[in-house]
Amino acid sequence: MADASGSEVTVVGQGARIEGTLVSAGSLRVDGQVKGKITAEGDVGLSAQSRVEADIHAQNVTIGGQFRGNIVAKGKTELARGGRVDGNITSRTLVIAEGAIFSGQSIMGEQATQEATPAKAAAPRGAGQPGETAPAQPARA
């Protein structure tokens, strides 16, 4: 199945239950139940009848059903009327429609874009690197 932009869409049907890691090279629509982890290079949409307990990493995410977990979206996360999110959302833009429920924390804007792209953690200076010493700490009385 293809979406309006012509890219492939993977569909988890209403009667389907999937447990584990779900990876899509395109977009994903969930009408059924998923428990685990969802990663999509495109968009992820959860319909009104969906029940999902997972962590989602995608371009854009739309929640119309019941969702528990964390969302990391490079673009927009939208909670549609009747949608419910119990978890944290990291997204450039967050839209919450009237009638949607969001229980958690959100990180938005440029900070969200940086968190959505994994970066190498730099070790602090003096953190046990060969030949380095840790800076002196002030004495406490």
Condensed to tens digits (0 to 9), the pLDDT of residues 99-116 reads 999 999 999 987 666 665
Claim: this prediction has a pTM higher than 0.85: no
Condensed to tens digits (0 to 9), the pLDDT of residues 62-102 reads 999 999 999 999 999 999 999 999 999 999 999 999 999 99
Q: What is the DSSP string of 3-59?
A: -TTS-BEEEE-TT-EEEEEEEESSEEEESSEEEEEEEESS-EEE-TT-EEEEEEEES
> Domain extents for the chain?
9-115
